[in-house]
Amino acid sequence: MDTMRNEPVDSFRPKSSVGWLWVLALTLLMVVPLSIAFAYDPPAPDEVLIVWLSMIPLFGLAIWFLAVVVYFPRMRYDLGVDALVIAYGPLLRYSVSYAHITDIAVTNMRFSPWSSFRFPGLALWKVQYTGMGQVRMCSTRSHKGVLLITAGEKRYGISPAEEDRFVHGLRSNVERAAPYTTDGTPMEDTAPRLQ
């Protein structure tokens, strides 16, 4: 059993961003006004249970947002032996096999009004973009200058700080993983279309 297959060969941090501040501000906007309201005008004793139960979803959302803020420094992109691993702490992890990657390009995507986890300077999970469809994001760029990786029917949006070095390493791994014919040439219909 080869345990080294999942170990990163090279790890990259994202481009700098203060996108986490938007998430923190939204969290504070949810929690602080309610805390002040309860401090100055507490609910009547017979209403306390109902008020607290009705606030459970809000507190759950606030805790989730705080986890996004806390794990922001753990966003990274690992070029492993067999796959690119895109991670945001324990909250998000995509593993993209090099053999499935068909395109790598810096892209400016068009905003879509569909709801998603997208703020200026931070986009996570599945985000809908006009004309592009769903993109699995783990990026400090929400729509401009995103490194878009296509693997089969899936697209991944990232923003490595050392973009040129990252793209060079990724392209090398993708070309190494491309299927070959018996004479050693890449198979025409499955060779990656890298720009």
Tell me the whole-structure pTM to 2 decimals.
0.74
Question: Beta-strand (E) ranges in the chain?
Answer: 8-12, 75-80, 83-88, 92-97, 101-107, 117-119, 122-129, 133-139, 146-151, 154-158
Work out the average pLDDT over 160-185. 77
Structure tokens at 141: 């760029």
pLDDT at 77: 94
Work out the average pLDDT over 6-25. 78
pLDDT tens for 101-141 read: 888 888 888 777 766 776 777 888 888 887 788 889 899 88
pLDDT at 1: 40
Work out the average pLDDT over 44-59. 75
pLDDT at 115: 63
pLDDT at 186: 55
pLDDT at 93: 93
- Give the DSSP H/E element, type plus range, for residue 171: helix 163-177
C-beta pairs of 61-70 under 8 Å, 24+ apart in sequence: 61/30, 62/27, 62/30, 62/31, 65/23, 65/24, 65/26, 65/27, 65/30, 66/24, 66/27, 67/91, 68/20, 68/23, 68/117, 68/122, 68/124, 69/20, 69/23, 69/24, 69/27
Work out the average pLDDT over 137-159. 89
Cα 149 from chain centroid?
12
pLDDT at 182: 43
pLDDT tens for 180-195 read: 544 445 555 544 555 4
pLDDT at 154: 93
Residues whose CB falls within 8 Å of the CB of residue 90, separated by 6 or more in sequence, listed in order? 71
- What's the pLDDT band for 85 if we cut at 50, 70, 90? very high
Any idea where the domains of the chain sit in the sequence? Answer: 19-72, 76-177
- Answer yes or no: is pLDDT of 48 > 50: yes
